[in-house]
Structure 1
Amino acid sequence: MLEKTTLIAVAIGAIFASSVLQAETIDTRIGKLQFTHDFANGYPTDATVEKLFNEMDFQRAVQVYLWAIPFASMAQWQYAHREQLGAENGQAVFLESYKDRLGGLTYNATTPYVLPFIDLAEGPWVVVMPEAEVRGAAHDMWQIAITRMTEPGKYLFVGPGQGVPKDAEAQGYRVAKSPSMNLLVGIRLMATDEAQRLADLEAIQVYPYAERDNPKPRGYIRPKGKPWMAAAPKGLAYFERLAEWLE
């Protein structure tokens, strides 16, 4: 009797196993996922494992893309100034005409802009705002404001890990610490008279703090019809630009 009961139990178990533990395929957004048995009790096949890891990599890439949108946009903007327009470190790009600003993303159509990118890798830099109708602000590479520049005077920008020069504030510098090694200074020329605007432009000075005793302002350039684009690149180039600036 015991032997018969055991055989019945084994038969029932086999029937249950064959009905519950048979291979299962599930349709998902990323395609068909196959399992050795049913989803709850089986294991993903080798092909499914590879597909899932590929999806994880894709999702991480999407997260990086979204996380870095502000930074990548600023990196491309700085790249455009340097590589496409030929601006040196601290040298402003002066945008006056409508054609000049075609490569930008959020410019006003009529406002004259003075835009120097500054790389602080070799030490602090100075921006001199004249007593004139000029208004500005500095932003880090995450497009977060560092300081307003609405008052005339000398603004001293110090990079990550750099000490503030001794007695800088006592010497009249307005000290601003940048969270990123590169930053953008954006200045608007507000005078309505063209001659006055150009005089104000010439009075803006950007130079390394190391040159404070004999400054050599980096001046400005104009696009002069050169094509340029500040929008973040597409595809793999987006990640390449991001990696280049982060490193």
Structure 2
Amino acid sequence: MQEEKAALSMHALAAHRASLAGVEFPLGYPTEADACALRDELLFQRATQVYLWALPAVNLYAMKEASERAFGSGYTVFPVWKQRLDAKTIIPTPNSDVIYAIGYIDVGRDGPMVIDVPPKQQGILNDFWQRPIEGPTVDGKTYAGDVGFVGPDRGMGGKFLVLPPGYQGEVPDGYHVYRSRTNNVLVFWRAFFADPANLAPACDLIEQTRIHPLGQSAQPMRFPNASGVPLDMTYPIDGRFFDMLARFVNSETLGTADPDWRGMMAAIGIVKGQPFDPDARTREILDAAARTAFRMSRAMMYEGIEKRPGGLIYPDRHYVTPTRNFVTDWEWMDKAGHFLDLDSRSAAYSIIYATSPAMGSAVPGQGARFLTTFKDANGAFFDGSRSYRLHLPPDVPAANFWSATLYDTQTASGLDNGQPLPSIGSRDEPIASADGSYALYFGPVAPAGKERNWRRTVPGRGFFLMLRLYGPTQAFFSTTWKPADLERMD
């Protein structure tokens, strides 16, 4: 049935294209009806491309607006997921095995911002195109975006100063200076804990953070507890996407997009400083374009990424990395630097957010690797009605910890499976086999006696899995250790 529907869809699409390509121009001029059809098609095509291009920015802007609705706005508001991030928070591929704190500052509105970073912290400063913000050079090393253990303060804490785009004013001494290319800035802390039963020390560290404009005294901060709060932080998958994009554009400098992309946005009605108020017919076309572009982005990730050069981590496994080159890809240029790799960029930001150069460190024992898989050993997409087994060979190459997390294919958020958390990892102390390997189980029902090593899937829903290695060791880089593909058990 699915194959028949696909064939009919392809036939209808081919017929639509043929009808447009075959439009006749009597005396070289189109008829009014044909000109209208071609204009509608042009609007549709430009809107799909704007959607795919703008995904990184609207992805973060959606998070910002959702957070502000739930917890309030302003630089003094810094929500913390104090009991870890469960499936109640719908956000792209969250990590439920660290403590999250996510805030937003606007250096265009509020001017240069000081961030007092506590010691023993790890964080990220991204602009709203999800690029690490250009930082200082210390002892010959230039930092971008990273804060804390992997930043210029090296985990000692310190004062960070984030400057607006094109800032030409005086820069005082005593700060780690970061220059943003957008007004909006993501402030994203991740705190690690040793004992899942005692999260207070990690939360207490985060709550030492202070954020305030340069030259002003720090005001009292608010650290609302976001754990367990029903909150949808995902970007729209319909025409509302363009309304959100228009709000983002109006919050930014003109230079947040180059003239070509400003022209593309203008073609669908989005111009900085002007209201975005499309008529009903235009809205109908934009809605169809957004719904189509969303599906394009997911097809790029779920089906297309392993077909692209460098997409597969191992040639004989179905594991991919959501980013094409984890270490150097935050500008998303092809390897020769000739062009922006739009497909890889759109695919990635359809399911992830935030970029940290240090996380992609190739030094054994540092950074992290995210091994993501959408398919079982037979190449079939995961089905929540089925049961699967994952074999992890002995000595999992993670100096800090490892975890396996289930995600919903529709939202890319943690799978809402009725369990406290959608992940299982080394700190959960799963039962190891005699040789030190691990067998993990994913399915609607736990295999008898395997409950401790099991996470529930949801019948009727797809899922995907991300295996995180924090502090990947040499065995990962040399590929002497490889996880098995998930195997169907039924």
Length-normalised TM-score, structure 1: 0.77
For 1:225-240, list aligned pairs within 5 A. 225-240=228-243
Pick aligned residue for 1:130 from 101, 111, 118: 118
Change (3 A) 1:197 1:71: same
Please state if 1:70 is matched with 2:56. yes
Give the secondary structure class of the aligned counterpart of 2:243: helix
Deviating above 6 A after TM superposition, structure 1's stretches of 4 or more consecutive aligned residues are: none
Please state if 1:86 is matched with 2:87. no
Alpha-carbon distance in 2 for matches of 1:69, 1:202? 31
Alpha-carbon distance in 2 for matches of 1:201, 1:189? 7
- The 8 Å contact of residues 90 and 119 in structure 1, kept in 2 or not, is answered as no
Q: What amino acid is aligned across from residue 102 of structure 1 in structure 2?
A: T
Match of 1:183 in 2: 185
Q: Give the aligned length.
A: 213
Please state if 1:222 is matched with 2:243. no
Pick aligned residue for 2:85 from 98, 106, 111: 98
- The 8 Å contact of residues 77 and 223 in structure 2, kept in 1 or not, is answered as yes
Match of 1:19 in 2: none
Please state if 1:202 is matched with 2:207. yes
- The 8 Å contact of residues 89 and 229 in structure 2, kept in 1 or not, is answered as no
Pick aligned residue for 2:128 from 130, 135, 141: 141
Match of 1:246 in 2: 249
- The 8 Å contact of residues 206 and 217 in structure 1, kept in 2 or not, is answered as no
- The 8 Å contact of residues 100 and 188 in structure 2, kept in 1 or not, is answered as yes
Change (3 A) 1:185 1:49: same
Give the secondary structure class of the aligned counterpart of 1:108: coil
- The 8 Å contact of residues 56 and 130 in structure 2, kept in 1 or not, is answered as yes
For 1:106-117, list aligned pairs within 5 A. 106-117=93-104
- The 8 Å contact of residues 81 and 227 in structure 2, kept in 1 or not, is answered as no
Change (3 A) 1:191 1:129: farther
Alpha-carbon distance in 2 for matches of 1:215, 1:98? 28
- The 8 Å contact of residues 134 and 200 in structure 1, kept in 2 or not, is answered as yes
Q: How far 1:217 sits from its partner (Å)?
A: 4.4
Please state if 1:44 is matched with 2:30. yes
Q: What amino acid is aligned across from residue 36 of structure 2 in structure 1?
A: E
Match of 2:4 in 1: none
Match of 1:162 in 2: 167
Bigger mean CA offset, 87-96 vs 180-189: 87-96
Alpha-carbon distance in 1 for matches of 2:111, 2:18? 49
Give the secondary structure class of the aligned counterpart of 1:203: coil
Pick aligned residue for 2:46 from 28, 52, 60: 60
With a CA cutoff of 8 Å and minimum separation of 6, indicate the structure with the bigger relative contact order. 1
Change (3 A) 1:93 1:134: same
- The 8 Å contact of residues 122 and 147 in structure 2, kept in 1 or not, is answered as yes
- The 8 Å contact of residues 207 and 217 in structure 1, kept in 2 or not, is answered as no
Change (3 A) 1:187 1:162: same
- The 8 Å contact of residues 95 and 101 in structure 1, kept in 2 or not, is answered as no
Length-normalised TM-score, structure 2: 0.41
- Which has a greater percent of strand? 1
Alpha-carbon distance in 1 for matches of 2:88, 2:169? 35
Change (3 A) 1:122 1:36: closer
Change (3 A) 1:203 1:85: closer
Alpha-carbon distance in 2 for matches of 1:61, 1:51? 15
Change (3 A) 1:114 1:50: same
Change (3 A) 1:34 1:202: closer
Give the secondary structure class of the aligned counterpart of 2:124: strand
Change (3 A) 1:62 1:195: closer
What 5-or-longer segments of structure 1 have no aligned partner?
1-26
Change (3 A) 1:60 1:236: same
* Alignment RMSD: 2.4
Give the secondary structure class of the aligned counterpart of 2:207: helix
Alpha-carbon distance in 1 for matches of 2:68, 2:101? 15
Q: Percent identity?
A: 27
Alpha-carbon distance in 2 for matches of 1:227, 1:30? 47
- The 8 Å contact of residues 116 and 209 in structure 2, kept in 1 or not, is answered as yes
Deviations 1:172-198 (A, max 9, x none): 101111100001011111243534223
